[in-house]
Amino acid sequence: MTATADVPARARTSADLISAEEPVLAHNYHPLPVVVARAEGTWVEDVEGRRYLDMLAGYSALNFGHRHPALIEAAHRQLDRLTLTSRAFHNDRLAEFAERLAELTGLDMVLPMNTGAEAVESGIKVARKWAYEVKGVPADQATIVVAAENFHGRTTTIVSFSTDETARAGFGPFTPGFRIVPYNDLAALEAAVDETTAAVLLEPIQGEAGVIIPDPGYLTGVRELTRRKGCLFIADEIQSGLGRTGRTLAVEHESVVPDVLLLGKALGGGIVPVSAVVAGRDVLGVLRPGEHGSTFGGNPLAAAVGTAVVELLETGEFQQRAADLGVLLRDGLAGLVGKGVVGFRARGLWAGVDVDPAIGTGREISARLMREGVLVKDTHGSTIRLAPPLTITGEELESALGTLAKVLAEGA
Ligand SMILES: Cc1ncc(COP(=O)(O)O)c(C=O)c1O
């Protein structure tokens, strides 16, 4: 049978597709039972044609909504011309992507990669090399200080410094060289950083931990401390960056400029995986040919989509929408405190909402919202995360909050 653009080769029901996955797909996820078949903007549609408001946006990979016309057009144009060269050769899209991303972030140089975890891995390698070549740390002694409850990805090295036992158990032996301190604790950070420290690696807002926003002054303090102690500040903005919090970067809320910035998710416009390490020349300049690389990193399709993403952010429109609609989100959630919500944290169009455990787990609330046509994802316990596309309208946001109110009012 020939598949057309619209009809999969083997049309099946949602239930059929979910049970078909069971024997053939690794069980490393526990998705909500919705099978998405198409999407546009803030809306997705399942196999049976039911519509859902997407309040997760691919964990911020879809900041510009599904299939944003400018991004789809950039991808189509590039698909018709050139898709992959490898870095064995130059391609005619990469220079502009790097130039514009460096300009957007106010840093000098870009190392293009694909997934977020690869950007984190690359940032760690670059920081270690910087420590040996520039700072003068003795060979193989470099340390990197990270925060408890972090989420930076799933590779062996990254889970080596995770505090989530589910993410670690069974995957050792682990990579040494990391020190873990409590998040939002400058005194603990000060005590952990010494002459071996290459970098402090942090999320400016901890996403997977439940949208944990540090106290005002923390990021400024980290910047001051790392500068004073002579180590790098690596900000993992893979989830918090590119408009989500109402600014291009979450560190901008404290006017902080890190030495190394890790970007991913929304950089690929929800179309292709695109990530990057962005840093000063004094840091990324330590890499020389052959020392690090990726077959797909910086490919022309990724560069074309990434450039189109940067172009959207250059207007400031999406950052402004996140800031403006963030007020609506915050006010809406404040109105639910005591009515099923026990607490929440919000910045821009991003919130972690702690639901009264008597009403249900985060998973149960997410499943009820799904049945009412709103897609969200739980994090830990009774916390759900809201991160709609930045293209969401005020009416759509109010409607999602109304559905949340209804689900909470129905109780356990
Ligand atoms: C802050 C942060 N860093 C890194 C990653 C890993 O990104 P990826 O899943 O693309 O490897 C994530 C993913 O959720 C993230 O939130």
Residue 207 CA: nearest ligand 1 atom is 16
What is the Å distance from ligand 1's center to 116 Cα? 5
Rounded mean pLDDT, 42-53: 97
Rounded mean pLDDT, 147-151: 98
265 is catalytic: yes
> What's the pLDDT score for residue 411?
83
> What's the pLDDT score for residue 32?
96
> What's the pLDDT score for residue 3?
44
Mean confidence (pLDDT) of the chain: 96
The catalytically annotated residue of 46, 54, 236, 259 is: 236
- Residue 6: band (very low, low, confident or very high) from pLDDT cuts 50, 70, 90: low
Long-range contacts, stretch 218-222, CB < 8 angstroms, 24+ apart: 218/184, 218/186, 218/254, 219/251, 219/253, 219/254, 219/256, 220/254, 220/255, 220/256, 221/186, 221/189, 222/186, 222/189, 222/256
Residue 117 CA: nearest ligand 1 atom is 11
What is the Å distance from ligand 1's center to 128 Cα? 21
What is the Å distance from ligand 1's center to 387 Cα? 15
Q: Please report, for the chain, the start and end positions of each structural domain, with discontinuous segments joined by +.
A: 14-60+317-411, 69-314
Which of 118, 152, 155 has the most ligand 1 atoms within 8 A of CB, as the residue to mutate?
152
Q: Decide if 14-60+317-411 and 69-314 have a common fold.
A: no
Q: Answer whether 204's CB lies under 8 Å from 219's CB.
A: yes
What is the Å distance from ligand 1's center to 207 Cα? 9
368, pLDDT greater than 90: yes
> What's the pLDDT score for residue 9?
57
What is the Å distance from ligand 1's center to 239 Cα? 7
> What's the pLDDT score for residue 276?
99
Range with the lowest mean pLDDT among 10-24, 49-63, 182-196, 230-244?
10-24
What is the Å distance from ligand 1's center to 265 Cα? 7
Residue 239 CA: nearest ligand 1 atom is 16
Residue 273 CA: nearest ligand 1 atom is 10
Rounded mean pLDDT, 339-354: 98
336, pLDDT greater than 90: yes
Whose CA is closest to 249, among 259, 235, 268?
Answer: 235
- Residue 381: band (very low, low, confident or very high) from pLDDT cuts 50, 70, 90: confident
Which of 118, 262, 265 has the most ligand 1 atoms within 8 A of CB, as the residue to mutate?
265
What is the Å distance from ligand 1's center to 264 Cα? 7
Rounded mean pLDDT, 11-39: 95
pLDDT one-digit tens code per residue, 286-300: 999 999 999 999 999
pLDDT one-digit tens code per residue, 306-324: 999 999 999 999 999 999 9
User: CB under 6 Å to ligand 1: residues?
Assistant: 59, 115-117, 120, 151-153, 203, 207-208, 236, 238-239, 264
Question: Would you say how long the chain is, in residues?
Answer: 412
CATH architecture for residues 69-314: 3-Layer(aba) Sandwich (3.40)
Tokens linked to 377? 């994802």
Tokens linked to 134? 């520039």
Rounded mean pLDDT, 101-123: 98
Rounded mean pLDDT, 213-219: 98
CATH class of the domain at 14-60+317-411: alpha beta
Question: Which protein residue's CA is at the shortest distance from atom 3 of ligand 1?
Answer: 152
End-to-end CA distance of the chain: 47
Residue 61 CA: nearest ligand 1 atom is 10
Q: What's the rounded Cα separation, in Å, for the pair 258 and 266? A: 20
What is the Å distance from ligand 1's center to 178 Cα? 18
Q: What's the rounded Cα separation, in Å, for the pair 233 and 222? A: 7
- In this structure, the strands spanning 143-147 and 109-113 are unpaired
pLDDT one-digit tens code per residue, 278-288: 999 999 999 99
pTM: 0.97
Percent of the chain with pLDDT over 90: 96
Tokens linked to 46? 């399942």
236 is catalytic: yes
164, pLDDT greater than 50: yes
Question: Which protein residue's CA is at the shortest distance from atom 13 of ligand 1?
Answer: 153
Which of 146, 238, 251 has the most ligand 1 atoms within 8 A of CB, as the residue to mutate?
238
Residue the block writes with tokens 């993992």: 236
Residue 150 CA: nearest ligand 1 atom is 1
pLDDT one-digit tens code per residue, 166-187: 999 999 999 999 999 999 999 9
In Å, how far are 36, 213, 298, 361, 410 from 58, measured between CA atoms? 12, 20, 22, 21, 27
199, pLDDT greater than 80: yes
Strand partners of residue 378: 384
Q: What's the rounded Cα separation, in Å, for the pair 6 and 328? A: 36
The catalytically annotated residue of 151, 161, 296, 344 is: 151
Question: Which protein residue's CA is at the shortest distance from atom 2 of ligand 1?
Answer: 152
The catalytically annotated residue of 54, 129, 161, 265 is: 265
Strand order across the 43-46 sheet = 36-40, 43-46, 51-54, 374-375
